[in-house]
Structure 1
Amino acid sequence: MDSDLFSRRRAERFAQLLDEANGGRRQHKRSRVDDQLAALVAVGQRLSAAPPAVEVDPEFRTGLRAMLLATAEREGIGAPATDAASGSTTRRTKAFRPSLLPAVTARRARARGAILVGIAAGAVAVSGISAASENAVPGDALYGMKRSTERAQLALTSSDVSRGQLFLGFARTRLSEAAELRGDRAGYSGVLDDMDADTRQGVRLLTGAAVQRSDPAPLDAVNTFVTAQRQAVSGLLDDGTRTERDRTRRSLALLDAVRKRSDALRAAIACGLPAPAGSDALGPAPATCPADR
């Protein structure tokens, strides 16, 4: 069976069912997939009747809009129809074909439009759940949604600098979660592990961008992050158990290593950026600048 054809028919039927649910002309036939699509149609009705009262993040809205516009352009949604008829086509043929082709084209456009509307509605619904999950910590029901939202943000970001800054933002979020997990030995250690992993990812992307561009600007974001993050992480040493303090010091050591790497790369860029001596979890490892420079 042609899976593309099957998917297109499901999409077209979904568009018809949505039209019917919203008061459109009812079709005098049923499809074998109607029962499977009933739940999706119900979701569409609920979203139309009571849209979530959520303020969508502007960056997320911009990324979603770009994705939808790209999809619309690729699928030809909204493009003016071209007249394929030759100059010698008779009036009878011209009178007959418009009664058939526009109907087929309109159904396909409605189906594709329904898919795009479904994506947008789903994104708005997800953004509502995302807003509700902002304060979730490991072990909460919505924590998985919180982390999924972070992955979606990364997927919508293309440049290494922007992705690096996002990872550092996630590291700040993990720090606030750690403060809520004091006394939970496994949970506290686990969230600091995630924080350190986000820190390494963000720093690696930003230091790599600085070296590639021979521009210290991405390192400014690293230094700003380290200054604030180190002060906040140091606060976790107060009133913690010995095990928690030992684990916290490991994160502080990582931040110190990040600052040292950033300063070394800045000096290397200033003296002409000798070829890196290699790379590791924090990105390029700069070579020592020549003494005569």
Structure 2
Amino acid sequence: MDSNLFSRRRAERFAQLLDEANGGRRHHLRSPGDDELAALVAVSQRLVADRPTVEADAKFRTGLRAMLVATAEREGVGTAAKTESGPTTTGVRGSLLPAVTGRRARARGAILVGIAAGAVALSGISAASENALPGDALYGMKRSTERAQLALASSNVSRGQLFLDFARTRLDEAATVRGDRLGFGAVLDDMDADTRQGVRLLTTVAAQRSDPTGLDAIDAFVTGQRQAVSGLLDRADHAEQDRTRRSLALLDAVGKRADGLREAIACGLPAPAASDALGPAPAACPADR
């Protein structure tokens, strides 16, 4: 609960956005994180509209309850507010502080309850929509759940790996689309977009930190993904084959970018200034190195 998502300001802003989405008073302000939190608000609204019928595992409920109780104790939810001057604090500050801290405690408590309900519901929705395909009723929920996972990710490395996981999922979906040329192309478009997003995040971190660890994840992704995408070339439709080759070309470009960055890091070059859809574009190592 110490991640950026659950910092005090973001938690309070999330509560405001939830309140506004449910018809509450609008707050005349915006924060840089509103677009990211909007995905979670959208998920909460869909959870209310489409309640899952899948029951959460008993172990999950027990673990979630233990986590929430520990968080409540750490955050002081439900405990008496203390002032800096002790129990005898007087004056305007002494009279206002309990009310303010009380509101904050109630806000934290409401957020914890919302997180608990959302987590239980989301576990059911995730299980129900996990195998949803484009055109299925739960496919929109599946994609919303993915956006929520991205919002909950604690770092760009985690987000990058999630995007690559989503690209693998799009590939599985593409393999099931038969006789729908437009649908097939749309799924591969989403797959390639996820690939670019994930690669860009991982290559950027690798270049900034001069650490090739993220490039290892890219190499593993390219190896498995290229083999699976090549399997789509068996389709009889020539337009689908041409569209598949474009995705293979992207994977080739990703592999070359990872190799170039790895060489640049190995020979001690600084982080590249140039960048594109795949992230930093490294220069070649000098011949004398």
| TM-score normalized by the length of structure 2 | 0.69
1:140 aligns with 2:139: no
Specify the SS of the correspondent of 2:211.
coil
Q: Which of 80, 86, 90 is matched with 2:88 structurally? A: 86
Specify the SS of the correspondent of 1:158.
coil
Distance 1:158 1:111, change over 3 A: closer
Distance 1:107 1:279, change over 3 A: closer
Distance of 2:72 and 2:282 partners within structure 1: 40
* Amino acid paired to 1:250: R
1:290 aligns with 2:286: yes
Q: What are the superposed Cα offsets for residues 233-268 of structure 1, whole Å, 9 maximum, x if unpaired?
A: 000111331011000000000000000111011111
Tell me the equivalent position of 1:243: 239
Q: Which of 270, 274, 277 is matched with 1:278 structurally? A: 274
Q: Contact 1:230 / 1:252 at 8 angstroms: preserved in 2?
A: yes
1:258 aligns with 2:231: no
Q: Contact 2:81 / 2:102 at 8 angstroms: preserved in 1?
A: no
Distance of 2:59 and 2:251 partners within structure 1: 33
Distance 1:51 1:71, change over 3 A: farther
Q: What are the superposed Cα offsets for residues 104-151 of structure 1, whole Å, 9 maximum, x if unpaired?
A: x99996786455324312321122011110111111110111011111
Q: Which of 197, 208, 218 is matched with 2:193 structurally? A: 197
Q: Contact 1:276 / 1:284 at 8 angstroms: preserved in 2?
A: yes
Q: Contact 1:203 / 1:258 at 8 angstroms: preserved in 2?
A: yes
* Amino acid paired to 1:286: P
Tell me the equivalent position of 1:220: 216
| Deviation of 1:85 (Å) | 3.9
Distance of 1:137 and 1:55 partners within structure 2: 28
1:53 aligns with 2:56: yes
Q: Structure 1 unaligned runs (5+)?
A: 12-42, 89-101
Distance of 1:87 and 1:280 partners within structure 2: 59
Tell me the equivalent position of 2:170: 174
* Amino acid paired to 1:181: V
Distance 1:56 1:131, change over 3 A: farther
| TM-score normalized by the length of structure 1 | 0.68
How many residues align? The count is: 231
* Amino acid paired to 1:53: A
Distance 1:277 1:150, change over 3 A: same
Q: What are the superposed Cα offsets for residues 52-76 of structure 1, whole Å, 9 maximum, x if unpaired?
A: 2348989xx7xxx59x948972xx4
Superposed, which structure 2 residues align to 1:69-218 within 5 Å? 69=71, 73=75, 76-82=76-82, 85-86=87-88, 113=109, 115-218=111-214
Q: Contact 1:56 / 1:127 at 8 angstroms: preserved in 2?
A: no
Distance 1:53 1:246, change over 3 A: same
Q: What are the superposed Cα offsets for residues 47-105 of structure 1, whole Å, 9 maximum, x if unpaired?
A: 9xx982348989xx7xxx59x948972xx4144443754399xxxxxxxxxxxxx9xx9
Q: Contact 1:54 / 1:128 at 8 angstroms: preserved in 2?
A: no
Distance 1:289 1:239, change over 3 A: same
Distance of 1:168 and 1:199 partners within structure 2: 6
* Amino acid paired to 2:55: P
Tell me the equivalent position of 1:269: 265
Q: Contact 2:56 / 2:123 at 8 angstroms: preserved in 1?
A: no
Distance of 2:60 and 2:272 partners within structure 1: 39
Between the aligned residues of both structures, percent identity stands at: 72
* Amino acid paired to 1:188: F
